[in-house]
Structure 1
Amino acid sequence: MVFPQKEIVEAIRARYPAGTRVALVSMIDPYSRLKPGDRGTVSHVDDTGTVFVDWDCGSGLGMVYSEDRIRILEGGEFL
């Protein structure tokens, strides 16, 4: 696994601060029960750029930089 540069991690943190509401677009995890459209709240971004989300369904799975995709929700709608 190649880790993103510090500047990229900081940009991810700025885009997805704790409390940001997001929806899953896609992910590469055949074992997860999450599906596109599932919603959750960002808890934090770690030093590898993984965005950890407290999913409304109860999962706490993180979204891996350059592998998984999420969208920011505003007023319950996709941006």
Structure 2
Amino acid sequence: MYYNKENVERLRQRYPEGTRICLDRMNDDPFPVESGTLDMVDHVDDAGTLHCIFDNGRTLGVIPGVDDFHVIREGSEQTEEEEMNISM
């Protein structure tokens, strides 16, 4: 999946460093991280991949629009469902 410069900047604003997310499912990885694993966004690269540090110690890129995940609201154990509505 390719994101243009404007969409990458929107992703960076939406998922700044330190954002907590929960991985629901990795759809296209030969060695996926287990569903339900929590992580923290380290940075968003120029291709729009969220580089994450998972609570289990693993690091891996999460691709919005390909992998399924949701944001964990700060100060709460409740989650906020995120929908990717970024036009190509």
| TM-score category, normalised to shorter length | 0.7 to 0.9
Give how far 1:69 is off: 2.0
Give how far 1:59 is off: 0.6
| Stretches of structure 1 lacking an aligned partner (at least 5 in a row) | none
| C-alpha RMSD over aligned residues | 1.3
TM-score by length of 1: 0.87
Query: What percentage of aligned pairs have identical amino acids?
Result: 36
Which aligned pairs between 1:19-34 and structure 2 lie closer than 5 A?
19-28=18-27, 29-32=29-32, 34=33
CA distance in 2: counterparts of 1:76 and 1:55, whole angstroms: 17
Figure out how many residues of one structure are paired with residues of the other and give that number.
77
Give how far 1:50 is off: 0.1
Runs of 4+ in 1 over 2 A off after TM superposition: none
2:85 maps to none
Which aligned pairs between 1:1-79 and structure 2 lie closer than 5 A?
2-28=1-27, 29-32=29-32, 34-74=33-73, 75-79=76-80
| Stretches of structure 2 lacking an aligned partner (at least 5 in a row) | 81-88
TM-score by length of 2: 0.79
